[in-house]
Each structure stands twice: as structure tokens, then as C-alpha cells.
Chains A and B, each alone.
Chain A
Amino acid sequence: MNKRTTKLKVSPALGKIDETKTLRDLVSETSHRPASGSVITRVNFPLLDEDIAKFDQYSEEYFALRISVLRAGLMALERMSEDQRAELIREAELRRPKPGRKPIKK
């Protein structure tokens, strides 16, 4: 019953007290936001309705986010040979939709 089984452990943080810290600093230290949240960048680019439909089709078939479908496309490009990749990107570039107003029929 009298045998010691516990011991105190001093925290190294005790030697790092900073008198200049504000409540905002202290609160943000205790917020557990995911690390990945700080590394993403939002981009905006034009897509055709059929591109979006394809995204949604793959997304629904495989229970994945649209961004995962896009990443899978990039991964597929990575796995191709340089020639195949250049050919495919060239083909997509030639079929690229031209944004803007539709021509007026005279």
C-alpha cells in the first residue's frame, strides 16, 4: 500500500514563459486546426458543363470529392511517358473552349 508508484514531471514549457503574449496568441495556441488547412490555395478556372458533368459522374461513382477526381487526373499524367503526356495535353489545348460571348448571327 505504501509503495510509491507516481512521480511529478515538470514541463519544459515552464522555462518558456513570455510576458508579451496576448490573449489572442494564447487562444490560438490551443486551437487545433488541421495543418493541411494552411497549405491549400483556392484557384478559379473555367469549365464546360460537360467537364463538370464528368467530374460529378466520377465523383459519384467512386464516392470522392471533385478535387480528388482532378488529382487522380494529374496522377494519371504523372504515370504516362513524357511523349504520351505531351500529346494528350496538346490535344486538350487544341480543344480548349474559348471563353467569351457567343458570336452574333447576322
Chain B
Amino acid sequence: MIILVGSHKGGVGKSTIYIHLLMCLILKSGKRIAALECDDQHSIKDWLDDRRGSGIMPDVDYYECYHDIPAMARKLDKKYDIVLLDAPGRRSPEFSKCLSVADLFISLVDPSSQIEINTLGLMVADVRQYQASVNKQLQAVLVMNRCDTHPADQDASNFRRDIEADQDNWLPVARQRIYQRKPYKRAYNLGLSVHEYNERGVNMARGEIELLLKELNLLAA
């Protein structure tokens, strides 16, 4: 299975959440997992270099490809159970190639950020275009990221309600949210994932990642 974590916009937390999803799958699923970086900013490689430099185990089966991405992804798909693609955070040829070969596309959005929401319209149109032409099996899901932890905040609920009221024009939204929590960033900074990092509040982050993967049927319930 080929899974793309991507967005039409940079800075949505794509690479940060990518490494937590990747490590959760490696540690918890029992499946063979490969990371394929297609973003020449090398955010995953930088994190992995820190990890390898600190001698943190387990290692990650990491690959890079920036040109013939579909061929590379399909080749890895034969060897691994899940290939996790990291695409550039912009509408680019690399992103297009990833979208053409992915079985599942996970896109992150901060439901309180209009600047991020503004990029969703064209991204949804692109997903529909790929589903209609070159990748008929493509499934896509929006994941609300950096949600406010304040109990009175309604932005995430409102965002989801608006999308569900107009499903023909939007992509489904995952029920599980990712909240704004420091352990996500702090673990990344140390070459770790939230499943390998200990700090107050990290259990909440671990739970969010696991529940999201269970909701997407990538982790056994």
C-alpha cells in the first residue's frame, strides 16, 4: 500500500506528523514499512540523520526519489507492506507524481487557519482530477492538525461540520484530530517520535497518532 502525506501548502506540519505516523507503524503494526522521500527539502532525512547520529533504534528503511517517483514507489510496494511518501508542500511535479501512484492521500490542515483552508479548494479539485483520470483507486482524507486544546474552541468542529454539509465538493475529514502539543515537535527535534519520547502530555500525542492510524485501518483496532 502506498500512502502519501502531502499538502498544497508548506508549513502545515506535514513532515512532523509524517515521522510520528511512520514510527508508530514501524513499532506497532508489525508490517514492513518503507519511507520514500520525494521532497528535496529533506526534512525526513535531516530527522533520520539526527536519529542515526544518536544511535537510536530501530532504524528506518529510507529511500529518496525525485524524478521517476511512480516507478520507485511501485518497486518498493512489492517489497514492503506500506510505503510512506513525503511530498513537497506545494503544487509541484513531485507532488503530482506522488498523487498519481498513491492508494491513500493524507492531507493536514489547521482548522483555525484560513490561509491553510484557502489552499484546500484547488487541492480537492486536483484529487478529483486524479481519481477521474490517472489514479482511479486513490482514496483521500483530510486530517485536522494543530487543533486548539481549549475545551471551548469550536474551530475544528465547525470545519468538519461545514465539510460534511457539502461532501460533493470536499474530501472526507478524519474523526480523529491532532492537537497542538509540544511533544510532537520536541520528539522530532531529538530524532525521536512521540512513541519513543517521554514528557508530560506525550501519552495524549501517542493516543492521537494511534487512533488516527486505526481509523484509517492502518493499525489493528
- What's the least CB distance linking A39 to chain B, in Å? 22
CA distance A19 to B122 in the complex (A): 17
Most buried by B among A1, A6, A17, A29: A6
Q: How many residues of A contact B (CB 8 A)?
A: 25
In angstroms, Cα B129 to Cα A8, docked, is 20
Specify which of B112, B129, B134 is in contact with A6 (CB 8 Å cutoff). B112
A19 to B133, CA, bound (A): 5
Q: State how many residues of chain B have any CB contact under 8 Å with chain A.
A: 38
A9 at the interface (CB under 8 A from B): yes
Q: A10-B169, A11-B122, A14-B125 known; A22 and B152 CB under 8 Å?
A: no
A-side contacts of B113, CB under 8 Å = 6
| B18 adjacent to chain A (CB < 8 Å) | no
**Does A31 touch B at the CB level, under 8 Å?**
yes
Q: Is B179 an interface residue (CB 8 A)?
A: no
Question: Which of B129, B158, B169 contacts A21, CB < 8 Å?
Answer: B129
Q: Mark A42-70, 1 if CB is under 8 A from B, else 0.
A: 00000000000000000000000000000
* Cα separation A26 to B170 with both chains bound (whole Å): 20
Cβ contact of B95, chosen from A10, A11, A30, cutoff 8 A:
A30
Q: How far is the CA of A23 from the CA of B111 in the complex (A)?
A: 31
Known contacts A5-B114, A18-B133, A26-B134; A13/B122 CB under 8 A: yes
Within residues 61 to 94 of chain A, which ones have a CB less than 8 A from any CB in chain B? none
Q: Which residue of B lies closest to A10 (CB)?
A: B169
Complex interface residues of chain B between 57 and 110 (CB less than 8 A to chain A): 70, 91-93, 95-97, 100
Question: Is the Cβ of A1 less than 8 Å from the Cβ of B125?
Answer: no
Contact A14 B134 (CB under 8 A): no
30 A-B interface contacts by CB (under 8 A): A1-B150, A1-B152, A1-B154, A4-B158, A5-B114, A6-B114, A6-B158, A7-B114, A7-B162, A8-B121, A8-B159, A8-B162, A8-B166, A9-B117, A9-B121, A10-B121, A11-B121, A11-B125, A13-B125, A14-B121, A14-B169, A20-B133, A21-B133, A26-B129, A26-B133, A26-B134, A27-B93, A30-B91, A30-B93, A30-B96
